[in-house]
């Protein structure tokens, strides 16, 4: 359906629910479209934001004849009059005003009026500014999305059973509340990325035992990542990249059972993650395609990569790049058969690339550049398709395809690794091998022949022994010949 919506719609006085989406409507909705809709409880409007723009524009002092319970408006410009009308709707249970071009301060009084009954509140992708009220109670709130606005100040301290909280891409500052886990114990999705938060990650956040997705990326957080994160038995996505976190990567990384056995989560909204070298957006509609993700990149983590990472058998993305990690790459990573993205670049990793990396048949993006890796690059299977030399660059002692550095001839066989110091060791071992052979021959020769030369009685006995042997052999041969002739 297309064209303008007729004003005669406003005459449907018995109408309870009105859904205007998934079509090609255009034009402006005015007071006349709603004038007699006294029983209206649900209104949903969504349009194509590019091809068929639509707007809602009513007089600033217009009093609506209805009290809505459910309101959904997406990609539809809302005038100041309609925004004023919305604030008069105090019986709302579900509210979505997404990408409506609203530019206003956060309506604290309206939030206070609807807080006792509202269940889902989405005001994302607008231009709301100001601060949120800090001490409201939302006893029935399940999901709250204020992402991509201009809100500032500290994160609010709300006592609520909310399971989905998205405050990404705002101007929030200060620390994450230390008692967040106690105030919101049922949190499953937390996204406060792209803000100005500082301080440490509070231990209480681990009390949210149903956590599935947590994104704290691109803030100013410091300190260590809580060891208690293994309490998150359902965790699917961890993104704390682009902060100032330090310390060792938790050895408990191998414990969460959800990364060992795939479990699909419910509504998870939208966020972003560095995947396959690009910053990409994921949402509830395609989460199953993203799989299980860990992104700890661009921090100050140090120490070795825990061997337990190999137990995360359902892991699809592991990004530990741009840290200060040392030691060797655990061979256990080669067991992650569903791993698609492995980012370990810009660390201080040493040793050889594990040979079993060739068994990572799902791997489509690899970056091991800017480390201290040595030896021959493993070949075979999926690794042969990753022929971009930049993924191995700035490892001076690496050799083999796709790098231009050729490994020595004897070391080009599959599975053989190249040691820079092996040649001198082999040369020394060869030299002493030949020396020992020469000494053994000389000693053996003179031990026997020297004795015969020096001792006359031994020399006579030695030659007499061989004369006797010679006579016995000659006699035996003569007898055999004689018997053979008699038979003929």
Write out pLDDT tens, residues 223-242: 988 877 777 788 888 888 89
Give the pTM.
0.70
pLDDT of residue 422 exceeding 60, the answer is no
Q: What is the pLDDT of residue 347?
A: 94
- Tokens 């092996």 belong to 422
What pLDDT score was predicted for residue 256? 55
Secondary structure E strands in 79-191: 94-98, 120-122, 129-131, 137-138, 143-145, 150-153, 159-160, 164-166, 171-175, 189-191
Ramachandran angles phi, psi of 375, nearest 5°: 90, -170
* pLDDT tens, residue by residue, 261-320: 433 363 333 344 444 444 444 444 333 334 578 888 898 888 898 888 888 888 888 999
Lay out the sheet containing 2-4: strands in order across.
2-4, 24-29, 54-56, 77-78
Q: How far is the C-alpha of 465 from the C-alpha of 461, rounded, in Å?
A: 6
What DSSP letter does each residue of 301-356 carry, written as one string?
EEEEPPGGGGG-TTEEEEE--SSEEESBPPGGGGG-TT--EEE--SS--EEEPPGG
What pLDDT, on the 0 to 100 scale, is given for residue 323?
A: 92
**Average pLDDT for 357-383:** 86
What rounded mean pLDDT belongs to the chain? 80
CB neighbour class for 5 (10 Å; exposed up to 12, middle 13-18, buried from 19): buried
Beta bridge partners of 272: 281
| pLDDT at residue 128 is higher than 60 | yes
Choose the weakest-confidence range: 186-195, 220-229, 384-393, 477-486.
Answer: 477-486
What's the alpha-carbon Rg for the chain, to the nearest Å? 39
The answer to whether 12 and 41 are in contact (CB under 8 A) is: no
Q: Angle at the Cα of 469 (from 440 to 454), degrees rounded to 5?
A: 45
Contact 353, 373 (CB under 8 A): yes
Q: Tell how many helices (H) and how many strands (E) occur in the chain.
A: 6, 33
- Rounded CA-CA distance 112/215 in Å is 28
Worst-scoring range by mean pLDDT, 121-130, 244-253, 453-462?
Answer: 453-462
pLDDT at 324: 92
- For a pLDDT cut of 70, what percent of the chain falls above it? 76
pLDDT classification of 362: cutoffs 50, 70, 90: confident
What digits encode the pLDDT tens for the residues 206-219? 888 889 999 999 99
Query: What mean pLDDT do residues 442-459 have?
Result: 63
């Amino acid at each position: 359906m297309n064209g303008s919506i007729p004003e005669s719609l406003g005459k449907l006085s018995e109408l309870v629910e009105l859904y205007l989406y998934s079509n090609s409507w255009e034009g402006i909705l005015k007071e006349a479209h709603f004038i007699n809709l006294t029983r209206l409880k649900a209104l949903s409007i969504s349009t194509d934001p590019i091809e068929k723009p639509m707007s809602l524009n009513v007089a600033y002092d217009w009093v609506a004849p209805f009290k809505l319970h459910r309101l959904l408006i997406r990609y539809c410009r809302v005038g100041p009059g309609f925004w004023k009308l919305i604030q008069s709707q105090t019986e709302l249970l579900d509210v979505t005003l997404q990408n409506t071009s609203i530019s206003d301060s956060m309506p604290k009084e309206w939030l206070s009026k609807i807080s006792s009954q509202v269940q889902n509140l989405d005001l994302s992708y607008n231009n709301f500014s100001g601060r949120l009220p800090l001490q409201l109670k939302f006893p029935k709130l399940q999901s709250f999305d204020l992402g991509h606005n201009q809100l500032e100040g500290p994160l609010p301290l709300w006592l609520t059973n909310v399971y989905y909280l998205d405050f990404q891409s705002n101007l929030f500052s200060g620390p994450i509340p230390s008692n967040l886990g106690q105030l919101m114990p049922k949190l499953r999705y937390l996204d406060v990325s792209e803000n100005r938060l500082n301080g440490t990650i509070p231990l209480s956040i681990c009390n949210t035992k149903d956590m599935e997705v947590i994104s704290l990326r691109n803030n100013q957080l410091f300190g260590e990542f809580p060891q208690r994160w293994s309490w998150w038995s359902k965790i699917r996505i961890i993104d704390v990249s682009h902060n100032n976190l330090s310390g060792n990567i938790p050895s408990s990384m191998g414990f969460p059972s959800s990364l060992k056995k795939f479990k699909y989560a419910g509504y998870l909204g939208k966020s972003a993650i560095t995947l396959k070298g690009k910053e990409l957006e994921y949402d509830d509609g395609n989460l199953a395609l993203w799989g299980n993700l860990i992104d700890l990149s661009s921090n100050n983590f140090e120490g070795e990569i825990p061997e337990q990472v190999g137990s995360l058998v359902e892991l699809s993305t592991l990004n530990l790049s741009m840290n200060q990690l040392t030691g060797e790459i655990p061979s256990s990573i080669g067991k992650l058969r569903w791993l698609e993205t492995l980012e370990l670049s810009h660390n201080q990793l040493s040793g050889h690339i594990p040979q079993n990396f060739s068994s990572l048949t799902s791997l489509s993006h690899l970056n091991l550049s800017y480390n201290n890796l040595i030896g021959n690059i493993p070949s075979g299977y999926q690794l042969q398709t990753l022929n971009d030399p930049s993924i191995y660059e700035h490892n001076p002692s690496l050799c083999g395809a796709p790098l231009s550095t050729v490994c020595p001839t004897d070391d080009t066989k599959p599975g053989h690794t190249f040691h820079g110091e092996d040649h001198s060791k082999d040369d020394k071992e060869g030299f002493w091998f030949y020396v020992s052979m020469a000494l053994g021959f000389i000693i053996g020769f003179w031990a026997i022949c020297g004795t015969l030369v020096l001792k006359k009685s031994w020399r006579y006995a030695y030659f007499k022994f061989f004369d006797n042997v010679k006579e016995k052999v000659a006699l035996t041969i003569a007898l055999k010949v004689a018997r053979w002739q008699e038979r003929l």
